[in-house]
Amino acid sequence: MALSLNDKFVKNFVSEDEISKISSEVYEAQKTLMNRCGEGNDFLGWIDLPVDYDKEEFARIKAAAEKIKNTCDIFVVIGIGGSYLGARAAIEFVKSPVYNNLKKDTPDIYFAGNSISPSALADLVKICEGKDVCINVVSKSGTTTEPAVAFRVFRKLLEDKYGKEGAKERIFATTDKAKGTLKKFSDESGYETFVVPDDVGGRFSVLTAVGLLPIAAAGIDIDKMMQGAQDARAKYISDDINTNDCLKYVAIRNILHRDGKSVEILAAYEPAAQMLCEWWKQLFGESEGKDGKGIYPSSVIFSTDLHSLGQYIQDGNRIMFETVLDIKNANDKLPIPFDPENVDKLNFLAGEDLDYVNHKAMLGTLIAHTDGNVPNIVIELDDRSAYSFGYLVYFFEYACAVSGYTLGVNPFNQPGVESYKKNMFALLGKEGYEELRSELDKRIN
Ligand code: PA5
């Protein structure tokens, strides 16, 4: 088992009695999920994905990743939200946040189309100058503005450099299997396409081609990743809160929420987990934050943020609890050198591995924060392997779905995302938005 929940630092805040009281609600939510009878039940493809995925496409993903490795220096992955965060989280977590700067036999990987910043796109275009480039445009709907604009820019770049015929060998599209502008255009243009299954929403799609192609292109073992998710699935679809850590996590976070803790901070002592935290925030934020409900998902990287947000967590408004990701085995060993001068008086640590110090910082912080009345749930993860990443992804996806139903929301829609889009299109003068435009113009002026 790659993951276990340590509830030692939450025991003073949540009693066994409270857990047993809420467990019937959690079981009910789990039953709703597994019987596929709740709201959003047409988006449950992710539940069985680790055991029931398209094997033919999986083989094509590996072949495409190999082709990408052999033909380009830079692989640009274009997508936003669920069509971007999972892949980036995996690459940074399993490899490194400085993956692009490491010596390797796989291409540099950059992400585009996840903002509307001209500078972000222009910088990336400059980085690609003189390099061989392949791109993967990822959009389930095929109509999202941010990736669509970036795709225009990079398609032109590739067509100018390699011609239409050459470019089509370097463009990979991940989108709906039949619908949408991107699918139609890709088929007409002869691009290789991969599928975002109908019944898997963006934020639950990291184990589909959406995540798997970029992850495989980075040289990460996607078989092991799927295996991790498969083993997690076998463990978490059981319905005994005493042995199912995922249900226990759901129970504890909902008890804390009802007790007035409206913010959950995911804390990791590993910078490689930064994008994992971003993925997690999207997963829980888009799934639970609706109808005036939800736990606000936030994140910190320690010890970095102990020198900034640490003050607030220790001492500020008591509105939060923490979920701490404790990675048991670091990817690297780094012993602290001995200094004959002992200028910094740190020789008592000479010869100790830096990870030993990191773990002591974690334990010290766990005690300090619980003393400061911040409950801490600890998720212990073996390591940063592909297997553990797959396991952790499934843990959070399953927890998020059960928690959403426990909270009384549909965890699988995201109606709130549309509001900004409508206003943006109106302000940009898109056809069909004329009435809204004049209304907004009046408010602005
Ligand atoms: O989780 C979601 O559904 C969203 O974050 C989408 O992934 C995001 O909006 C991108 O959508 P699309 O893949 O259709 O471009």
Q: Name 44's bridge partners.
A: none
Of the candidate CATH numbers 3.90.1150.10, 3.10.100.10, 3.30.559.10, 3.40.50.10490, the domain formed by 3-37+225-407 belongs to 3.40.50.10490
pLDDT in tens, 293-347: 999 999 999 999 999 999 999 999 999 999 999 999 999 999 999 999 999 999 9
Burial pattern 357-380, b for ≥16 Cβ within 10 A else e, equals ebbeebeebbeebbeeebbbbbbb
**Is pLDDT above 90 for 1?**
no
pTM, entire model: 0.97
As a whole number of angstroms, the distance between CA 231 and CA 381 comes to 14
Residue 57 C-alpha to ligand 1 middle, in angstroms?
21
pLDDT in tens, 143-193: 899 999 999 999 999 999 999 999 999 999 999 999 999 999 999 999 999
Query: For 269, phi and psi rounded to 5 degrees?
Result: -100, 35
Q: Of these residues, 146, 270, 278, 286, which one is catalytic?
A: 286
**Is pLDDT above 90 for 200?**
yes
The verdict on the CB of residue 144 being under 6 Å from ligand 1 is yes
Q: Average model confidence (pLDDT) for the chain?
A: 97
Ligand 1 mutation target, pool 77, 78, 144, most atoms within 8 A of CB: 144
Sequence-ordered strand ranges (E) for 290-338: 296-301, 320-327
Nearest protein CA to atom 15 of ligand 1, as residue: 139
The verdict on the CB of residue 139 being under 6 Å from ligand 1 is yes
Query: For 5, phi and psi rounded to 5 degrees?
Result: -95, 130
As a whole number of angstroms, the distance between CA 136 and CA 120 comes to 17
pLDDT in tens, 36-79: 999 999 999 999 999 999 999 999 999 999 999 999 999 999 99
Q: Is 307 a catalytic residue?
A: yes
The average pLDDT across 410-427 equals 92
The average pLDDT across 421-428 equals 93
Nearest atom in ligand 1 to the alpha carbon of residue 175 is: 13
Q: Which residue has the tokens 């609890």?
A: 321
**Is pLDDT above 90 for 445?**
no
The verdict on the CB of residue 411 being under 6 Å from ligand 1 is no
The verdict on the CB of residue 211 being under 6 Å from ligand 1 is no
Which residues in the chain are classed under CATH 3.40.50.10490? Answer: 3-37+225-407, 47-220
Q: Is 421 a catalytic residue?
A: yes
As a whole number of angstroms, the distance between CA 330 and CA 383 comes to 6
DSSP 153-173: HHHHHHHHHHHHHHHHTTEEE
Number of other residues whose CB lies within 10 A of the CB of residue 346: 14
What residues contact residue 282 under an 8 Å CB cut-off, 6+ apart?
81, 82, 85, 203
DSSP 47-70: HHTTTS--HHHHHHHHHHHHHHHH
**Is pLDDT above 90 for 239?**
no
Cis? peptide before 15, omega within 30° of 0: no
Ligand 1 mutation target, pool 80, 136, 193, 280, most atoms within 8 A of CB: 80
At residue 300, the 3 state secondary structure works out as strand
Nearest atom in ligand 1 to the alpha carbon of residue 79 is: 15
Helices 245-258 and 16-34 meet at what angle, rounded to 10?
110
As a whole number of angstroms, the distance between CA 413 and CA 425 comes to 21
pLDDT in tens, 364-375: 999 999 999 999
Nearest protein CA to atom 8 of ligand 1, as residue: 81
Residue 282 C-alpha to ligand 1 middle, in angstroms?
10
Q: Is 286 a catalytic residue?
A: yes
Q: Nearest CA to 404 among 39, 16, 24, 4?
A: 39
Q: Higher-confidence residue: 402 or 415? A: 402
The verdict on the CB of residue 208 being under 6 Å from ligand 1 is no
**CB distance 239 to 245 below 8 Å:** no
At residue 283, the 3 state secondary structure works out as helix
The verdict on the CB of residue 248 being under 6 Å from ligand 1 is no
Residue 139 C-alpha to ligand 1 middle, in angstroms?
7
As a whole number of angstroms, the distance between CA 113 and CA 154 comes to 10
As a whole number of angstroms, the distance between CA 109 and CA 123 comes to 14
Secondary element (H or E) of residue 402: helix 386-407
Residue 83 C-alpha to ligand 1 middle, in angstroms?
6
As a whole number of angstroms, the distance between CA 389 and CA 177 comes to 27
CA distances, 354 to each of 94, 306, 357, 361, 383 (Å): 19, 17, 5, 11, 16
Nearest protein CA to atom 3 of ligand 1, as residue: 202
**Is pLDDT above 90 for 274?**
yes
Number of other residues whose CB lies within 10 A of the CB of residue 270: 21
**Is pLDDT above 90 for 418?**
no
CATH topology assigned to domain 47-220: Rossmann fold (3.40.50)
The verdict on the CB of residue 183 being under 6 Å from ligand 1 is no
Q: Of these residues, 126, 307, 345, 442, which one is catalytic?
A: 307
The verdict on the CB of residue 7 being under 6 Å from ligand 1 is no
Cα 40-46-51 angle, rounded to 5 deg? 145
